[in-house]
């Protein structure tokens, strides 16, 4: 692709390795090590056969959906790339800056993923296991393309970061997040916990406890949560209870992948509500309902504090 | 990674991990120690609806719950449990107990393992207030 004036661009034909698929052997090896560790020590986490298989199938399906639908996001990025006059090249420091900025992008997409039901419909399946082990990391969405969250990456492309590089950084981000899905590691050294996302921080994110709802959206750097006020530390006295506020009653991967989309459809098409209600069922936070018959995370926290007033002002409340 | 390597790797990886977990013994369904455990499991899903009555299955794998709002069940989801109300449920006998069909995309079918006496009794308990 050439610039409008015909001058060749610095990063015309660049290829970055497809890091996520190359990491598959490492994922399998790490899961085997965690399984054997738990089996031998009798602590450090829990596995259950059907739960783990469902998580792994969700992971495989995520890669497949990327192969099938990835061209949509990539096509969108290439259009932006054709539009922007900026080109930062591919030097190591540009890749490093890209990685940090893409992690900021991840923070916001992830936060939207918990606060906008349309995006939650895709992300919910990552939280649908009642377990928390390395297979949970691979329980990834099949429907990410339909959330349109690729838009959040636009500024990066328009600033001159090549789409292939941005996707490379996104892949590294995903791989980083793999190892933090474990109960086998307690806390990392203090300096590391201060800057990086860790098993401890991310256990909080997967907790359905009222205290831990809507916290720790970080991908790689936990500093974003501290900066934007969504950080909650893991408390010694309150173990995270993993899963959804309303846990699934099926391991069927198709139902895991699509259940919240079906829920949105049913809610938004029910008779006797206004068009505004229909829209709200798509874009308001999960748990919103037109008649207040369901609870959002704010409502869950409020009810919890009504029963435990002494916890007001502690982390997460 | 080329697809002709990735695909067998993924299939064998998933199958291998499944067999390993099963051989270790991690396929056992959750057990509810007593009525209090069944009550706690129900409250995990419906914290606002305290059970008025709990009927624990003889094998401790499921429980029938009655609240102000109606009847529900707690049953194993692998090593954990979940719970649902039985609103508009279709209940039928199976060789091993009962099958409950629910108009719920996230829990369309619940298979309860019950002995003959329970399988005879539970459907009426599910329909009528005690
Ligand atoms: Zn999340
Ligand atoms: Zn996670």
Percent of chain A residues past pLDDT 90, beyond the cut: 92
- Residue-level pLDDT at A2: 40
Q: Do A56 and B13 touch (CB under 8 A)?
A: yes
Helices (H) and strands (E) in chain B, counts: 3, 7
Domain that holds residue B67: 35-127
The rounded distance, in Å, linking the Cα atoms of B93 and B123 is 9
**What are the structure tokens assigned to B2, written together?**
């080329």
The rounded distance, in Å, linking the Cα atoms of A55 and A135 is 6
Distance A71 CA to ligand 2 centre (A): 25
Write out chain A residues lying below 8 Å of B26, CB-based: 46-49
Contacts of A303 (CB under 8 A, 6+ apart): A210, A295, B47, B48
Confidence of residue A16 (pLDDT cuts 50, 70, 90): confident
The rounded distance, in Å, linking the Cα atoms of A174 and A106 is 10
Confidence of residue A10 (pLDDT cuts 50, 70, 90): low
- How many of the other CB atoms lie within 10 Å of CB of A195? 12
- Span A36-55, mean pLDDT? 96
Contacts of A206 (CB under 8 A, 6+ apart): A127, A132, A136, A181, A240, A242, A243
Distance A126 CA to ligand 1 centre (A): 7
Same-domain check for residues B40 and B21: no
Strand order in the sheet with B53-56: B53-56, B63-67, B70-77, B80-85
Rounded (10°) angle between helices A24-41 and B3-24: 10
- Residue-level pLDDT at B93: 92
Domain boundaries, chain A: 19-187
Q: Do B106 and A39 touch (CB under 8 A)?
A: no
Confidence of residue A13 (pLDDT cuts 50, 70, 90): low
The rounded distance, in Å, linking the Cα atoms of A189 and A194 is 9
Same-domain check for residues B72 and B17: no
Q: Are A256 and B85 in contact (CB under 8 A)?
A: no
The rounded distance, in Å, linking the Cα atoms of A80 and A155 is 9
Interface membership of B21 toward A (CB under 8 Å):
yes
- Residue-level pLDDT at A4: 46
Instruction: Render pLDDT for B76-117 as a digit per residue (tens, 0 to 9).
Output: 999 999 999 999 999 999 999 999 999 999 999 999 999 999
Q: Has residue A7 got a pLDDT over 80? A: no
What's the distance, Cα to Cα, between the start and end of chain A in Å?
A: 52
| DSSP at A234 | P
The rounded distance, in Å, linking the Cα atoms of A183 and A181 is 7
Question: Nearest CB to A262: which of B24, B45, B105?
Answer: B105
Distance B51 CA to ligand 2 centre (A): 33
- Residue-level pLDDT at A1: 40
Q: What three-state secondary structure class fits B72? A: strand
Instruction: Render pLDDT for A277-305 as a digit per residue (tens, 0 to 9).
Output: 999 999 999 999 999 999 999 999 999 99
The rounded distance, in Å, linking the Cα atoms of A112 and A117 is 9
Same-domain check for residues B25 and B66: no
Same-domain check for residues B67 and B20: no
Same-domain check for residues B55 and B109: yes
Question: What is this structure's pTM?
Answer: 0.93
Q: Do B77 and A56 touch (CB under 8 A)?
A: no
Long-range CB pairs of A66-75 (<8 Å, 24+ gap) are A69/A145, A70/A145, A72/A145, A72/A150, A73/A145, A73/A150, A74/A163, A74/A167
Same-domain check for residues B115 and B68: yes
Interface membership of B74 toward A (CB under 8 Å):
no
- Residue-level pLDDT at B128: 58
Same-domain check for residues B42 and B23: no
Same-domain check for residues B59 and B105: yes
Same-domain check for residues B14 and B77: no
Tokens 């409008």 belong to A4
Q: Do A35 and B79 touch (CB under 8 A)?
A: no
Contacts of A121 (CB under 8 A, 6+ apart): A143, A147, A260, A261, A263, A264
- Span A36-60, mean pLDDT? 96
- Residue-level pLDDT at A14: 65
Same-domain check for residues B97 and B119: yes
Tally of domains within chain B: 2
Helix runs in chain A, H state only:
19-22, 24-41, 49-83, 92-115, 117-123, 134-138, 154-158, 163-178, 190-195, 199-206, 223-228, 253-268, 275-283, 297-307
**What are the structure tokens assigned to A191, written together?**
């300096």
Question: Nearest CB to A250: which of B6, B22, B107?
Answer: B107
- Residue-level pLDDT at A3: 44
Percent of chain B residues past pLDDT 70, beyond the cut: 98
**CA quadruple A80, A148, A256, A286: dihedral positive or negative?**
positive
Confidence of residue A155 (pLDDT cuts 50, 70, 90): very high
Write out chain A residues lying below 8 Å of B27, CB-based: 48-50
Confidence of residue A245 (pLDDT cuts 50, 70, 90): very high
- Span B52-72, mean pLDDT? 95
Q: Has residue A316 got a pLDDT over 90? A: yes
Percent of chain A residues past pLDDT 70, beyond the cut: 95
- Span A152-179, mean pLDDT? 96
Same-domain check for residues B103 and B52: yes
Same-domain check for residues B44 and B88: yes
Distance A21 CA to ligand 2 centre (A): 19
Give the minimum alpha-carbon distance from A310 to chain B in angstroms, rounded to a whole number: 19
């Amino acid at each position: 692709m050439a610039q409008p004036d015909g001058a060749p661009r610095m990063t015309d034909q660049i290829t970055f390795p497809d890091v996520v698929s190359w990491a598959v052997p490492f994922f399998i090896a790490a899961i085997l090590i965690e399984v054997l560790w738990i089996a031998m020590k009798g602590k450090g986490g829990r596995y259950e056969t059907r739960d783990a298989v469902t998580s792994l199938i969700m992971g495989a399906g995520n890669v497949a959906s990327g192969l099938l639908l990835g061209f949509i996001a990539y096509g969108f990025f290439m259009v932006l790339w054709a539009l922007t006059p900026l080109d930062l090249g591919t030097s190591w420091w540009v890749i490093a800056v890209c990685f940090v900025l893409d992690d900021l992008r991840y923070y916001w997409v992830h936060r939207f993923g918990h606060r906008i039901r349309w995006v939650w419909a895709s992300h919910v399946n990552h939280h649908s296991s009642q377990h928390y082990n390395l297979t949970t990391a691979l329980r990834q969405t099949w429907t990410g393309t339909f959330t349109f969250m690729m838009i959040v990456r636009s500024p990066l492309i328009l600033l001159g970061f090549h789409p292939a590089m941005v996707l490379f950084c996104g892949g590294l981000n995903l791989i980083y997040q793999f190892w933090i899905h474990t109960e086998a590691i307690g806390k990392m050294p203090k300096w590391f916990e201060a800057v990086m996302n860790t098993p401890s921080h991310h256990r909080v994110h997967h907790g359905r406890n009222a205290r831990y709802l809507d916290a720790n959206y970080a991908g790689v750097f936990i500093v974003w949560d501290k900066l934007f006020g969504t950080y909650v530390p893991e408390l010694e006295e309150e173990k995270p209870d993993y899963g959804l506020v309303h846990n699934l009653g099926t391991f069927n991967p198709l139902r895991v992948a699509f259940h919240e989309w079906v829920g949105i459809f049913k809610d938004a098409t029910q008779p006797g509500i206004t068009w505004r209600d229909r829209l709200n069922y798509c874009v308001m936070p999960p748990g919103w309902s037109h008649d207040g018959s369901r609870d959002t995370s704010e409502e869950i926290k409020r009810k919890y504090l009504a029963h435990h007033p002494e916890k007001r002002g502690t982390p997460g409340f | 990674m080329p697809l002709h390597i990735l695909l067998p790797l993924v299939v064998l990886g998933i199958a291998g991990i499944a067999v390993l977990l099963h051989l270790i013994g991690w396929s056992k369904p959750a057990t509810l120690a007593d009525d209090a455990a069944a009550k706690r499991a129900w409250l995990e899903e419906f914290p606002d609806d305290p059970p008025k009555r709990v009927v624990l299955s003889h094998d401790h794998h499921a429980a029938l719950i009655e609240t102000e709002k109606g009847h529900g069940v707690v049953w194993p989801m692998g090593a954990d449990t979940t719970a649902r109300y039985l609103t508009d449920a279709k209940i039928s006998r199976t060789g091993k107990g009962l099958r409950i069909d629910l108009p719920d995309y996230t829990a369309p079918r619940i298979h309860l393992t019950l002995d003959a006496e329970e399988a005879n009794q539970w459907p009426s308990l599910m329909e009528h207030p005690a």
